[in-house]
Each structure stands twice: as structure tokens, then as C-alpha cells.
Amino acid sequence: MSRKVTIIGGGPGGYPAAFILAQQGVQVTLIEKDKLGGTCLNRGCIPTKVLLEASHVLRQIKTAQRMGIRVKEVDVDYSILRKHKDNVVESLVKGVEKLCEARKIRVVKGTGVLETLQSIQIRESGEAIKGDAVVLATGSVPAKIPVPGADGPGVINSDQALSLVQVPPSMVIIGAGYIGLEFAQIFHGLGAKVTVLEMLPQALPNEDQDVANELERALKQEGIQVLTEVTVKEISGKEGRKKVNYAAKGQDHTLESALVMLAVGRRPNTEGLGLEKAGVKTERGRVVVNPFMETSAPGIYAIGDAIGGIMLAHVATAEGHTAANHILGKRHPLDYKAVPRCIYTYPEAASVGLTEAEAKKKYGEILVGRFPLQASGKARIVGGSGFAKVIAEKQYRGIVGVHLVGPHVTEMIAEAAAVMNLECTGEELAHTIHPHPTISEMIMEAAMAVEGYRIHSL
């Protein structure tokens, strides 16, 4: 008799885990209360990238004149753009459904609740699903802030921002993390007047300072206001005429806008799952797991945003992979050293590993190789601003962080992730032949700088 595994949550953590298990002959039941694909496909990565792509194309059209391309009039029909976004999402969700079908995975629509260690109950139908192991992949929801008026009318989160029927004339976005910045550029591109408020001294507080500065500068240049070190005190007013009171350097200010968007992070979606009863330990809402994704309850695994940590789709996938492998008897602990992080603004930003400040703290002496985008031939052709930065620890010159800002860098960061995963030193990266002319050359050039020499920069 084959083994049975139940997975709660069909997002980018749950469904890959289901596929890996099903391919090894495990009978998998995948419980999803909404649509397969989770936040990533339906409310996150994919739809935001459709909108950002539109804003990039629009920018290209507007700047095409430098190449002699004359464009008479450009405007955006937001209803068509929305439909396009929905079509992309729908086709991908269909794709996941097809793959589930082909792999003979039973997809159950409903909310799964842990009954006993081996049994899950579907809240809506009352059906009990038994199995040998359970994987919790319940994802996350947008977080809130304890500010008066934060749940009033006209205050939206990223889910609601994606389903707006029309573009608001103005918008205040609270939070300058990657979600806030991406939405700022989407709505700015579509014509809204956007202001971003950040409590901490730097936009993208968790990213390398150079990356944050470069993006902040580029966004401001486009006309997006980014205010850091401000404390939001109150949100008031009715929809269409919202007021945001905030303090900056001890002084109170008020901003008016049609809508306010909260982009203050996400929190694990673990409530009402029956965790406590099943003996699954949590810590401030996130499920506690070991490097094999095992929770404190035997046979119960948790992955993805539900366990907190780095809340990114590809991390959830890797965690799903780790949990599935462990269920199959293959013990490969997950190493988070080389997780790429991408921001799809213009210019794009992409990083892997430690920031310069983190590296300095961890290793003391480090080597930092930099290469400015302007020195790249291909960058002159496609335009844009940015840089590459390769950070190595000094003793062995092992690469501990790579940071990129510029066109297409989200497509390029996988190289750096591979190099870090394989534990390369600056030498290997500097001596990897990169194609010319490409923007990827700047990674090689920055690695050369780590090794003490340069070709196209001084």
C-alpha cells in the first residue's frame, strides 16, 4: 500500500511538494480553500509583474525618442490591462490544475483543519482525510499596523490594490519594502501621484544600503516621493479624500490622497488550523520547524510563509522540496545562504547572500568589488542606471553576497546564486567567461575587482 500525504495549501510551497511526492508514488491530497497557485499566482508575484511589465513598456515607449522613434500619443486602458493580468493568472492556475490532474493528485476545495496527527478535517464538508504525513503550506496574509484608522475605508492592502477597478489619482503607500516600491511604480506609471512613507531610515530596510539608495534615487527621479524615517500617526477621512498624519523629525505633517495602501509586510496564516491541539509549536504566529521542515509534532511538516523566515515564493518551493524529500527518506537540510531576492521596479534590483553591512559584521574584513552599470557596453544600449557589487570574505575570498541594480538583473541573479551555492571564490566568478555584450558582464567585472584587478572600470 502506498503512503498517503495531505498538504494544506496549494501555493508555490504546497503544490511543488505535492508534485514531488506524487511522482514517487505517494497518494497526495492537496487542500486549497481558494485557487491553486496561492498568493504568488493569484495575488502576488505574477499579477504584480504583469502590471510592472506594462509600466516598463510604457516607460520604454516614452523614452524611445532618443532612438528616433516618434510616438504621437500613448495612453493606458486600465480595464484591458486588468483583463490581461487576469488572463495570465488564469492560464497559470489552469496549468497547475492540469499538472495536478496528470499526477493524480486529489485536489480538495475547502479549509483544512488538523484534527489528530494523521487526520485533517475539511471545515466546509466535514470530510476527514487521513494520511501518514501532513504538510502545512498555508501561506501568509498582508499584515496590519496598529494605527488609528488603519482599517477604515479607503485603506487597502496589496490584495485589494490588485483588484482596483480604476487607477486612483493619488495614493499614499505606507511601507517602502519591495511590495511598497513595486506598487508605487505600478500606480505612478498608470498616472497616480504616489508618496511612499517608511518608518526606518532607509527604503528596503533589509537590503544592502547601496541597493536601497540607488532605487530610492531612481524612484524619486521618476517623480515618486519617498519619505524615510517617518512615523504614521493616524489615517482619517473618507474614501477618495484620505488624510495621513505623520511625524518626521519631530514635526507633524499631513498628506492627502485618494487611497492609502498598507505595504507593511505579511504575517503567517496559521490561525484556526488546529495547531495547538495537534501539538505544533508556533512562535508569534509562525510555525517552528527544523532544517528538514519538521514541526514539533511527529509527521507534521510546515513550509513557506507559514513558517516565516524569508517569505518568498521560491523559498517556499525549496522548503516544499525539502519536506517532500524528507517524507521520502532523503535528508537534505535546507541551506538559506544563497536565496536570491528580486525587486521588479525600474531599475530592477536583485541580491543574494549578505549585505555589505551584514558581511562586515560577520567576517570583519571583507573585499567589495564594484562595477558601475554605466561602464557596460550593453547598458549604454538599453539605458538605465545601476551597478554590480560582489562581496567576499577576505580570508579565502569566498563570495558571501552579490547585489545588482539595473536592467534584467532579476534574470541574472541566478548565476550569483549558483556560484554561492557551489561555494565559489571571486576567482571562479572572475574567470567564468561571460558573453559580450551583455549586462551580465558586470558581475564578472565586479568579481575581478574582488580579486584585485579591473578591465572596464577604474
Partner 1 sequence: MATEVTIPNLGYTMTVAKILNWQKAVGDTVENGEILLEIETDKVNYGIESPASGVVKAILAKVGDEIPVGGLVAIIGKPDEEIDVRSYQKEKKEPPVPEKVQAAGKKEILPPVVPAAGGRVFASPLARKIARTKQVDLSRVMGSGRSGRIRMADVEKYILEGRPRKLEPTSSIGPVEVAEVIPLTTMRRTIAQRLAQSFHDAPHFNLCMEVDITEAKELLEKAIPKKAEGRLEVKLSLNDLFIKAVAVTLRDYPLLNARWKGDQVEVLRDINIGLAVALDNGLIVPAMERADQKRLWQIAKERIDLVERARQGRLTLPELERGTFTVSNLGMYDITFFTSILNPPQTGILSIGKTVDRPVVREGAIVIRPIVQMSLAIDHRVVDGAVGARFMQDLKQGLEKPGLLL
Active-site residue set: 436
d(CA 265, CA 162): 16
- Taking CB under 8 A as the rule, does residue 398 contact partner 1? yes
Q: For residues 88 and 48, is the Cβ–Cβ distance under 8 A?
A: no
- Taking CB under 8 A as the rule, does residue 122 contact partner 1? no
* Cβ-proximal residues to 366 (8 Å cutoff; 6+ apart), any chain: 356, 359, 360, 391, 392, 393, 394, 400
Q: Report in angstroms how near the CB of residue 53 gets to partner 1 at its nearest.
A: 35
d(CA 319, CA 317): 5
- Taking CB under 8 A as the rule, does residue 428 contact partner 1? yes
Per-residue x/- marks for partner 1, 433-452, CB under 8 A? ------------------xx
From 136, 430, 443, 446, residue interacting with partner 1 (rule: CB under 8 A): 430
- Taking CB under 8 A as the rule, does residue 425 contact partner 1? yes
Q: Report in angstroms how near the CB of residue 329 gets to partner 1 at its nearest.
A: 15
Q: Report in angstroms how near the CB of residue 310 gets to partner 1 at its nearest.
A: 20
From 23, 276, 281, 396, residue interacting with partner 1 (rule: CB under 8 A): 396
SS3 for 390? strand
Rounded to an integer, what is the distance from CA 63 to the centroid of its chain? Answer: 28
Nearer to partner 1 by C-beta: 289 or 424? 424
Please classify residue 98 by burial: count the beta carbons closer than 10 Å to its beta carbon, then call 0-12 exposed, 13-18 middle and 19+ buried. Answer: exposed
Which residues ranging from 285 to 324 are in contact with partner 1 (CB under 8 A)? none
- Taking CB under 8 A as the rule, does residue 418 contact partner 1? no
Q: Report in angstroms how near the CB of residue 456 gets to partner 1 at its nearest.
A: 17
**Angle subtended at Cα 257 by Cα 253 and Cα 258, rounded to the nearest 5 degrees:** 155
- Taking CB under 8 A as the rule, does residue 34 contact partner 1? no
Total residues contacting partner 1 by CB under 8 A comes to 14
d(CA 1, CA 111): 27
- Taking CB under 8 A as the rule, does residue 364 contact partner 1? no
Nearer to partner 1 by C-beta: 103 or 456? 456
- Using the CB atoms, write b or e for 435-457: b if 16+ within 10 Å: eeebbbbbbbbbbbbbbeeeeeb
d(CA 386, CA 5): 46
Q: For residues 89 and 41, is the Cβ–Cβ distance under 8 A?
A: yes
Nearer to partner 1 by C-beta: 238 or 332? 332
Query: Which part of the chain contacts partner 1 (CB under 8 A), choosing from 8-16, 137-145, 312-320, 394-402?
Result: 394-402
C-alpha cell belonging to residue 280: 505544533
Which residues ranging from 321 to 340 are in contact with partner 1 (CB under 8 A)? 332
Q: Report in angstroms how near the CB of residue 333 gets to partner 1 at its nearest.
A: 9
- Taking CB under 8 A as the rule, does residue 424 contact partner 1? yes
Q: For the CA atoms of 65, 67, 70, 74, what is the dihedral angle to 10 degrees?
A: -50
Q: Report in angstroms how near the CB of residue 336 gets to partner 1 at its nearest.
A: 14
DSSP strands (E only) in 149-239? 155-156, 170-174, 193-197, 225-227, 230-236
From 74, 374, 453, 455, residue interacting with partner 1 (rule: CB under 8 A): 453
Q: Report in angstroms how near the CB of residue 15 gets to partner 1 at its nearest.
A: 24
Q: Give the H/E segment covering residue 113.
A: strand 112-114
Three-state SS string over 46-57 comes to: HHHHHHHHHHHH
Nearer to partner 1 by C-beta: 152 or 398? 398
Residues that bind partner 1 (CB under 8 A): 332, 396-398, 422-425, 427-428, 430, 451-453
